[in-house]
Structures are given as C-alpha cells and as structure tokens.
C-alpha cells in the first residue's frame, strides 16, 4: 500500500503523527512484528552487560546476536573474557597478554587498535591490574 494511502487510513483511525514519523517507523522495520529491530546501540549494551545482570527478555536477543556470524561469536567471547580481567586478580597480566594474542588472532580489525592501545599503555595497565581496586 502506498505510504500516502496508509497515512490517510491511519489518520482516519486517530493517528496524529507526521508522515515523516510514519516513514521512519516503516523504514526501520518496526511494523514487522515478527522480529524486533536490534540497533547497534542495543547490541553493544547487551554485549557489555554482565551476564548475571541481563534481564530475562535480553538473553535470547544476545544469543541471536552472538550466533549471527563467526565474527560476532568471537567478539562476544572476547568481550566476556576481557571483562573477567577487570576484576583484580593475581596473574591478570599474563591473562591480558593471552587475551591480546587471542584478540589479534580473531582478525577483528576494530580490536586491533584497542590491543595496540593496551600495549602502548602496558605499564599503566599492568600497574592497574595488580592493584586491589581499580577502575578498569
């Protein structure tokens, strides 16, 4: 159905929004109720939320995101493993080196610059990992 015709029909039913809002709604796929739209922001939030803090309704979308491609599966694992390093523990400096090697081996270009930054700041990172409390 043409958008102008749809707009006319839903205005007859009480829709008070603009034509632009309707077009944006339709273009993002929200009208397709079978599958929710997952934005990059939501995917990031789900990946960065501690698994114990996820709401039950978020576990399925996270599993779907993680399984959507080999790259997303690798990224999910790397994010979780890196998060574990944020809890101070003896041996984290060695685990960080192992994590950097795993991240580089995964071939995810956006993690390359992150691992390079970790290496540049290695003295500060190692000092922080050995403190009883740090801000990660």
Q: Look up residue 62 and give its two tokens.
A: 């996270």
Q: Per-residue pLDDT tens for 57-84?
A: 888 888 888 888 899 999 999 999 998 8
pLDDT score at 17: 86
Looking at the fold, whether 28 and 47 belong to one and the same domain comes out as no
Looking at the fold, whether 75 and 92 belong to one and the same domain comes out as yes
Looking at the fold, whether 74 and 57 belong to one and the same domain comes out as no
Q: Is the pTM of this model over 0.75?
A: no
Looking at the fold, whether 58 and 91 belong to one and the same domain comes out as no
Looking at the fold, whether 87 and 48 belong to one and the same domain comes out as no
Looking at the fold, whether 44 and 1 belong to one and the same domain comes out as no
Q: Classify residue 107 as left (phi > 0), alpha (psi -120 to 50) or beta.
A: left
Work out whether the CA dihedral 49, 50, 56, 62 comes out positive or negative.
positive
Q: Classify residue 75 as left (phi > 0), alpha (psi -120 to 50) or beta.
A: alpha
Looking at the fold, whether 83 and 124 belong to one and the same domain comes out as yes
Q: How far apart are CA 100 and CA 97, in angstroms?
A: 5
Looking at the fold, whether 76 and 128 belong to one and the same domain comes out as yes
Looking at the fold, whether 80 and 42 belong to one and the same domain comes out as no
Looking at the fold, whether 58 and 10 belong to one and the same domain comes out as no
Domain count along the chain: 3
Looking at the fold, whether 106 and 135 belong to one and the same domain comes out as yes
Which position has the higher pLDDT, 1 or 11? 11
Looking at the fold, whether 81 and 44 belong to one and the same domain comes out as no
Domain limits at 102? Answer: 70-136
């Amino acid at each position: 159905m043409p958008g102008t015709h749809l707009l006319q029909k839903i205005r007859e039913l009480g829709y008070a929004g603009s034509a632009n809002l309707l077009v944006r709604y339709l273009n993002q796929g929200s009208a397709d109720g079978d599958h929710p739209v997952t934005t990059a922001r939501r995917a990031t939030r789900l990946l960065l939320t501690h698994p114990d803090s996820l709401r039950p309704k978020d576990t399925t979308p996270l599993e779907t995101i993680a399984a959507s491609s080999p790259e997303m599966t690798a990224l999910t694992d790397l994010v979780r493993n890196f998060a574990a390093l944020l809890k101070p523990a003896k041996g984290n400096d060695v685990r960080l080196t192992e994590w950097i090697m795993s991240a580089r081996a995964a071939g995810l270009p956006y993690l390359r610059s992150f691992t390079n930054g970790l290496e540049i700041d290695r003295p500060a990172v190692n000092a922080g990992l050995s403190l009883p409390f740090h801000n990660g």
